Amino acid sequence: MRLSLRFILPLLLVLGVVAYSVVPLVDSLTLKWFTRDLESRSKLLASTIEVPLADLVVSRSRTKIFAYFHKVIQDERLYALGFCDTQQRLLYQTLTYPDQLSCESLAHLAPGSSEVVDFAQGPLHVVVATIQSGGKVQGRLMLVHDMSFVHQRSTDTKWYIFYLFVGLAGLISAVTVLVAQLSWRGWVAGVRAMLTSKGLAPESSGAHSSELHPVAQDLHALVRELEADRRMRDESQITWSPASLKTILHEHLSGDEILIVSNRQPYIHNRRGQKIEVQLPASGLVSALEPVMRACSGVWIAHGNGSADREVVDSRDHVRVPPDHPSYDIRRIWLSPDEESGFYYGFSNEGLWPLCHNAHVRPTFRTSDWEQYVAVNARFAQAVVEEAKTDDPVVLVQDYHFALLPKMVREKLPNATIIMFWHIPWPNSESYGICPWRQEILEGLLGSSIVGFHTREHGNHFLSCIDRILEARIDRDSSTVSYGGRLTAVNPYPISIEWPSRWLENQRPVPDCRVHIRERHAMGPDRLVGIGVDRLDYTKGIIERFLAVERLFELQPEWVGKFSFIQIAAPSRTIIDQYQHFHDQVYALAERINKRFGREGYEPIVLKVKHHEPPDVYEYYRASELCFVTSLHDGMNLVAKEFIAARDDEQGVLILSQFTGAAQELPEALVVNPYDIDQCAAALHMALSMTPKEQRARMRSMRGLIQEFNVYRWAGRMLMDAARMRRRIRVMKQVGQASGRGR
């Protein structure tokens, strides 16, 4: 009965709505049809009686005219006739002619036109015809038809429609319920019994019950997993942390091994004299993933590029990290100078990096670089195979250095769940089309189970490139791609940072940080400070940032001597010509601005081109009045989020480029177009003038968002999606095996 009602009630509701919509339409069409019919009849009748009536009017035989009128209105629908002379006087009319239809009231009607007039006894249809004799107009004839029959016909039509829809509803409901009952009753009963652990009823499930037994256990697990995931997503009080991430791994991945592959390693060992120092590289990728790996354990496969990296690894090229609390392994891959030049500096950073960033630097593609890129991807893929202890690990592949690796791993570990996260933007199809190996890169990425981007826009660009270049089936509603017999999901996963940040544990209070930084740079205690933290890269908008500071001093000279901007710029890819040229440009511009606005004891721009450890960077964040992020094109930009995390005093202003992924999440920042120097200068003035109350309101909102959407949530979403995909594949395999046995 419940199943029947589920079909019948929505069906009756839909049919009722359709009938309710159709009846007024049919009523309107019926009126139009009959009105048009009466117009045709009236015109035909007028042309028939025109000549006899004209002769009678000329003779002015009143008796003959009334007799003629009486004869004409014997038509069952013709209600009355009236004749008006040229002076708008009603000379002749039948007894039924309404007094309200005076010649003056119908004077606006042109000959041959009609009008429907409503009266208490019902609507009347009036047509006006001109009566002529000898070429002279004698007057106008009014033909009045009774339209009460139209109302009766309309009522009958409404009932016909009602009976029709009632009959259709009954017939369709009966057929639908019958088919549903015959097709699904036994199967649904069997599955319900299986899921509730009550067994399979032979009389309900019939011969198909034996085929369902092999998947019972997997279906139970799948239902539990979906229920747990739903609870986790709906529960607003969850605190995303390493502990909750470990819980997710335990509940959703059941101890499955996790491998991370990236070019940059989370810890670098460098020799300084007789000592070996451990350095954390300036990388958003590392700052996002390293907390995840500490929470998940596993193996991180990366390029070993530190001067002492070989000294600290074991015989299998492994080293345990972090140094203070070891919790996972780094597997280091060694690259020759030629491999590093072609793979990293060549194809990755002279080809793919400018291609994806639209940074007005022409990409350089060399066949020799591509060959090294393919070879290094193959070496890292082999390392994944060697590190995998099972045939179905979860492999997290990071960034544009390894676009080919997912397909290579897939060929050797077909059951692996591969998540490829692309940390930089993805270009539109026109821009991407210039890459000579565009097809190979897309095919490599589609070896992944999931391809992740920071924003939905980047994912849509990726799908457009596939649509233009490959013969693949794309479902844009579900953001999936079917290619080569495999399905790849394309999802947005906005990356974030750990919360709370471990770099705040030993930090001085904010007032002490302010004093310490100002003393370090010989600034007075009242000096206002802005901070920028980037790699020395042409995509970060450092030149545009300096120009905005210069423009601020031009437009608001009162800030000269009161405001200094500190730019921390970690050296990056210094052997590439574009980076060397950019390095010189940055130095030259800073020197020019300092000469123009500086004086003894005052330096407007403080340029610090060297690597800074995270505790030092966080101290600068806490000591500054504002943080200026002016990326010309960026995937996410974690500097913005680090600044917010550092400001537990809820003070400070974030100025943020609209071309970062972070701008979509942080509208409380002062969002600017870095190419608009005047707008950026105005934002600097606004930030320096902003009241503490407004700063607190903006910062509190942004801190709340980053606290909730932290790096553990980012990783948890990817891993839960991977877990659902793995469970679905296992269930489908069980179903396939059961079907095979059934046949």
Q: Please give the helix or strand (H or E) that residue 386 lies within, else none.
A: helix 367-387
pLDDT over threshold 50, residue 209: no
Which pLDDT band holds residue 219 (cuts at 50, 70, 90)?
Answer: low
Which pLDDT band holds residue 249 (cuts at 50, 70, 90)?
Answer: confident
Tell me the C-alpha distance between 407 and 96, whole Å. 92
Helices (H) and strands (E) in the chain, counts: 24, 23
pLDDT over threshold 60, residue 204: no
Tell me the C-alpha distance between 392 and 390, whole Å. 6
Structure tokens of 386? 């060697």
Question: Quick check: do 2-153 and 257-336+375-492 share a fold?
Answer: no
pLDDT tens digits for range 598-654: 999 899 999 999 989 899 999 999 999 999 999 999 989 999 999 999 999 999 999
Instruction: Find, among 352, 356, 345, the residue nearest to 453 by Cα.
Output: 356
The CATH architecture annotation of domain 507-709 reads 3-Layer(aba) Sandwich (3.40)
Whether residue 661 contacts residue 644, with contact meaning beta carbons closer than 8 Å, is answered with no
Kindly state the average pLDDT of the residues 319-335.
Answer: 92
Which of 144-153, 541-550, 617-626 is the least confident region?
144-153
How many residues belong to the chain? 743
Kindly state the average pLDDT of the residues 366-376.
Answer: 97
pLDDT over threshold 90, residue 720: no
Question: In this predicted structure, what is the pLDDT of residue 426?
Answer: 96
pLDDT over threshold 50, residue 236: no
Which of 10-14, 122-126, 509-513, 706-710 is the least confident region?
10-14
Kindly state the average pLDDT of the residues 130-140.
Answer: 83
Place of tokens 């606006």: 108
Which pLDDT band holds residue 680 (cuts at 50, 70, 90)?
Answer: very high
Instruction: Find, among 382, 381, 445, 249, the residue nearest to 328 by Cα.
Output: 249
Question: In this predicted structure, what is the pLDDT of residue 648?
Answer: 95
Question: In this predicted structure, what is the pLDDT of residue 528?
Answer: 97
pTM over 0.95: no
Query: What Cα–Cα distance (Å) separates residue 209 from each residue in 212, 213, 217, 729, 743?
Result: 5, 7, 14, 22, 14
- Per DSSP, the residues of 329-348 read EEEEE---HHHIIIIIIIII
163 by Cβ neighbours in 10 Å (0-12 / 13-18 / 19+) ranks as exposed
Which pLDDT band holds residue 208 (cuts at 50, 70, 90)?
Answer: very low
Which has more confidence, 210 or 17? 17
| Beta-bridge mates of residue 143 | 81, 127
Which has more confidence, 170 or 634? 634
Structure tokens of 383? 């390392």
The conformation of residue 602, written as its DSSP 8-state character, comes to B
Question: In this predicted structure, what is the pLDDT of residue 283?
Answer: 58
Task: Report helix angle 677-689 to 542-555, nearest 10.
Answer: 70
Radius of gyration (Cα) for the chain, nearest Å?
41
pLDDT over threshold 90, residue 5: no
Which pLDDT band holds residue 7 (cuts at 50, 70, 90)?
Answer: low
Tell me the C-alpha distance between 172 and 184, whole Å. 18
Tell me the C-alpha distance between 438 and 398, whole Å. 19
Which pLDDT band holds residue 148 (cuts at 50, 70, 90)?
Answer: confident
| Topology adopted by domain 2-153 | Beta-Lactamase (3.30.450)
Instruction: Find, among 229, 419, 386, 231, the residue nearest to 317 by Cα.
Output: 386
Q: Domain ranges in the chain?
A: 2-153, 211-240+710-743, 257-336+375-492, 507-709
Question: In this predicted structure, what is the pLDDT of residue 205?
Answer: 42
Half-sphere exposure for 355 (CA within 13 Å, toward CB): 22
Question: In this predicted structure, what is the pLDDT of residue 57?
Answer: 83
pLDDT tens digits for range 489-514: 999 999 998 888 888 988 999 999 99
Question: In this predicted structure, what is the pLDDT of residue 199?
Answer: 41
Half-sphere exposure for 180 (CA within 13 Å, toward CB): 14
The conformation of residue 97, written as its DSSP 8-state character, comes to -
Q: Which residues does 170 contact at the CB level (< 8 Å), separation at least 6?
A: none
Which of 96-100, 445-449, 484-488 is the least confident region?
96-100
Which has more confidence, 705 or 147? 705
Which pLDDT band holds residue 214 (cuts at 50, 70, 90)?
Answer: low
Tell me the C-alpha distance between 118 and 96, whole Å. 16
Q: What is the mean pLDDT of the chain?
A: 85
Whether residue 728 contacts residue 663, with contact meaning beta carbons closer than 8 Å, is answered with no
pLDDT over threshold 70, residue 3: no
43 phi/psi in degrees, rounded to 5: -65, -40
97 phi/psi in degrees, rounded to 5: -70, 125
Kindly state the average pLDDT of the residues 129-137.
Answer: 82
pLDDT tens digits for range 583-602: 999 999 999 999 999 999 89
Kindly state the average pLDDT of the residues 201-224.
Answer: 49
Question: In this predicted structure, what is the pLDDT of residue 197?
Answer: 45
Kindly state the average pLDDT of the residues 514-533.
Answer: 96
Kindly state the average pLDDT of the residues 663-686.
Answer: 96
pLDDT over threshold 60, residue 186: no
Whether residue 564 contacts residue 526, with contact meaning beta carbons closer than 8 Å, is answered with no
Which has more confidence, 393 or 742? 393
Instruction: Find, among 724, 573, 706, the residue nearest to 642 by Cα.
Output: 706
Query: 57-71, 229-243, 254-268, 560-574 — which one is most confidently predicted on average?
Result: 560-574
Which of 86-100, 276-290, 415-429, 540-554 is the least confident region?
276-290
Kindly state the average pLDDT of the residues 341-361.
Answer: 92
Which pLDDT band holds residue 120 (cuts at 50, 70, 90)?
Answer: low
Question: In this predicted structure, what is the pLDDT of residue 238?
Answer: 56
Question: In this predicted structure, what is the pLDDT of residue 206?
Answer: 45
Beta strands in 477-516 (DSSP E): 480-483, 486-492
The class of domain 257-336+375-492 in CATH terms is alpha beta
Query: What Cα–Cα distance (Å) separates residue 291 from each residue in 113, 246, 332, 503?
Result: 84, 12, 19, 12
Which has more confidence, 541 or 289? 541
314-341: burial string, b at 16+ Cβ within 10 Å, e else: eeebebebbeeeeebbbbbbebeeebbe
Query: 50-59, 255-264, 523-532, 731-740 — which one is most confidently predicted on average?
Result: 523-532
Tell me the C-alpha distance between 93 and 84, whole Å. 9
Which residue type does 123 have? P
Percent above pLDDT 70 for the chain: 86
Whether residue 145 contacts residue 123, with contact meaning beta carbons closer than 8 Å, is answered with no
